[in-house]
Chain A
Amino acid sequence: MALLEVEGLTRFFGGLRAVGDLTFGVEPGEILGLIGPNGAGKTTVFNLVTGFVRPSGGKVRLAGRDVTGLKPHRLARMGIARTFQIVKPFPGLPVRENVTLAAFLRHPRRSHAEAAADEILGRLGLAARAGTLAGQLTLMDQKRLEMAKALATGPRVLLLDEPMGGLNPAEVDQASELVLGIRASGVTVVLVEHVMKAIMRMSDRVLVMRQGERIALGAPAEVVRDPEVIAAYFGKRAA
């Protein structure tokens, strides 16, 4: 059974249908890539699944349980974590405190939460930055922190919104390693990304969206040959 199931998910913003009748499942332990041209509705899907935006219709299930429309903090407690495309650190607090605040979700005692935070900071290569204010980090380190905070909530499914956006090629490789490491630690990953090389290499399956709808879902090698996908990216004549 899929760990995360999305069925007929729909969201209107006024008259605009941002996501329409979208259905897909995420298998435990996989990396599912979510791609599509700008405005395809990828971030809206993340907002719907993580509770930041309420669906106009459809269902979201986590391990068979209906979690549609629950608040973000409830979903985080149930094991759905996310990062934001435009990073949202706690800018005035040190990196370690940023992650500790997230670790409080599973570790009520401060000493335990701090120990969990230190472990994650080490894993993501942020240990040397533990005392730096989050607002003063480089973009790469802010992306790391974004993942560290999400991991500290102890998720079963982690939704990463463009973790490589704005990074240089060397940093993209580092970020890929981090994502693969997260999956290796047993966390299921859904990944929105525009860096095609990275997403095609890392994803087990790729879901392609256009104008809020699913146009393809399958292994990366199949998806890139799909005429509809080629049409969505390069126009009808290329297909």
Chain B
Amino acid sequence: MTRRSAVAWVAAAALLAGLPLVVKNSFFLHVCILVFLWTVLGEAWNALGGYAGQVSFGHAAFFGVGAYVTIVLFLKADVAPWWGIPVGGAAAAAFAVPFGLITFRLKGPYFSLATLAVAELTKLVALNWEWATNGSTGYLVTHLPPLRLGGLTVDWETKTPFYLAALSLLVVAMGTIGWLSRSRLGAWLTAIRENDEAAEAVGIDTVRAKVLTLALSAFLAGMGGGFYAFYFRYVDPDAVLNIGLSMEMVFIAMVGGLGTVGGPFIGAVFLTTVGEAMREKFQVGHLVFYGLFMMLVIRFLPEGIWGRVRRAIRRAPAVEVSRGAA
């Protein structure tokens, strides 16, 4: 990353952090929180799907494991959210290792279908292991622990603390994926995406790289799940292990731009705003428009919105280079 773009990223994060001081409209903050949460999930999915080219239809499983672990720790052991959310992420990452060792035996569409199957199994287990998950009844958070920071009591009834927590997760997620995209692991993932056998032939341990990436991806998705549990204060299998969640993660990364750091943010902005606007206008059948939007993007912008914009920006200097070479 150049110094200039690093400064730009830090400035953007600082601006976003200051937003609740100016904007008091709680619906607006709610939409921002949703955008941040969806971005985190899109980034998580993008690590595996965008960089490594392994299309997972089962990421709801990691979201769900994170949500359950976080909420159960809180309700049964009084573990505060700011510890519970990272622990939930770690639990999801641990869960991802056997998940990956099973599903990565398969390649391409067979891998995708296997992830779907494992995620559905996870949901069935959550429905039936009532001692751990409370079955289909789920868990409800009725109060949040009081918290004092710098002499100020945090007011859980406003959106601001959730907004800042979601923004922190966003920074962690984008920072992680930004690091990944520049690391040797990231380069290896690109090789795996381009040709798995050729990647093995040049000495890349493809299974290990994929499992590691899945664990990283699950960690981010699990933290997203933990945050969800405290923001919506309700966790049950239909809410946090829903196949729809897995699909939205795919769509956000695809609409925004596969294998880009900025893409999922753009994807989350578009899908959240389009989704919410259509929900207001058409109470019934608003998902049709959502799907239509997705089809248009996939048909006309296969590299995603951010992917297309980035190519347009980069084209100018590229032309100069080739002119210089000629």
Residues of A near any B CB (own CB < 8 A):
50, 52, 71-74, 76-77, 81-82, 84, 88-93, 97, 100-102, 104-105, 108, 110, 131, 149-150, 152-153
Report A100 CB to chain B, min CB distance, Å.
7
Contacts of B194 in A (CB 8 A): 89-93
Contacts of A104 in B (CB 8 A): 184, 187-188
A82 and B184 alpha carbons, distance in the complex (Å) = 22
Name B322's closest neighbour in chain A (CB-CB).
A131
Q: Is B276 an interface residue (CB 8 A)?
A: no
Q: List 27 A-B contacts (CB under 8 A).
A: A52-B197, A52-B200, A71-B205, A72-B200, A72-B201, A73-B203, A73-B205, A74-B205, A76-B202, A81-B201, A84-B198, A89-B194, A90-B190, A90-B191, A90-B198, A91-B195, A93-B194, A101-B187, A101-B188, A101-B191, A101-B199, A104-B184, A105-B204, A110-B184, A149-B202, A153-B202, A153-B203
Name A107's closest neighbour in chain B (CB-CB).
B184
Partner of A150, one of B187, B199, B201: B201
Contacts of B187 in A (CB 8 A): 97, 100-101, 104, 110
Interface size class of B (residues with CB under 8 A): 10 to 19
Name A78's closest neighbour in chain B (CB-CB).
B203
Main secondary structure of the interface of B (DSSP, over half): helix
Report B149 CB to chain A, min CB distance, Å.
40
Contacts of B188 in A (CB 8 A): 101, 104
Q: Is B176 an interface residue (CB 8 A)?
A: no
A72 and B200 alpha carbons, distance in the complex (Å) = 6
A131 and B205 alpha carbons, distance in the complex (Å) = 26
Q: Is B206 an interface residue (CB 8 A)?
A: yes
Interface contact A88-B205, CB-CB below 8 Å: no
Contacts of A101 in B (CB 8 A): 187-188, 190-191, 199, 202, 204
A111 and B190 alpha carbons, distance in the complex (Å) = 18
Partner of B195, one of A72, A89, A110, A152: A89
Residues of B near any A CB (own CB < 8 A):
184, 187-188, 190-191, 194-195, 197-206, 321
A77 and B204 alpha carbons, distance in the complex (Å) = 9
A64 and B201 alpha carbons, distance in the complex (Å) = 22
Contacts of B205 in A (CB 8 A): 71, 73-74
Find the residue from A71, A88, A149 having the highest chain B CB count within 10 A. A88
Interface contact B201-A82, CB-CB below 8 Å: yes
Contacts of A91 in B (CB 8 A): 194-195
Report B48 CB to chain A, min CB distance, Å.
18
Minimum-distance CB pairs A-B, first 7: A76-B203, A90-B194, A105-B203, A102-B202, A88-B198, A72-B200, A101-B191
Name A106's closest neighbour in chain B (CB-CB).
B203
Report A161 CB to chain B, min CB distance, Å.
11
Report B205 CB to chain A, min CB distance, Å.
5
A108 and B191 alpha carbons, distance in the complex (Å) = 15
Contacts of B198 in A (CB 8 A): 84, 88-90, 149
A153 and B202 alpha carbons, distance in the complex (Å) = 6
A150 and B203 alpha carbons, distance in the complex (Å) = 10
Report B235 CB to chain A, min CB distance, Å.
40
Contacts of A93 in B (CB 8 A): 190, 194
A84 and B204 alpha carbons, distance in the complex (Å) = 16
Name B205's closest neighbour in chain A (CB-CB).
A73
A131 and B325 alpha carbons, distance in the complex (Å) = 11
Interface contact B195-A88, CB-CB below 8 Å: yes
Contacts of B202 in A (CB 8 A): 76, 81, 101-102, 105, 149-150, 152-153
Given known pairs A73-B206, A108-B184, A110-B184, the reply for A88 and B201 (CB within 8 Å) is: yes
Interface contact B203-A77, CB-CB below 8 Å: yes
A153 and B201 alpha carbons, distance in the complex (Å) = 9
Given known pairs A90-B195, A92-B194, A104-B187, the reply for A71 and B201 (CB within 8 Å) is: no
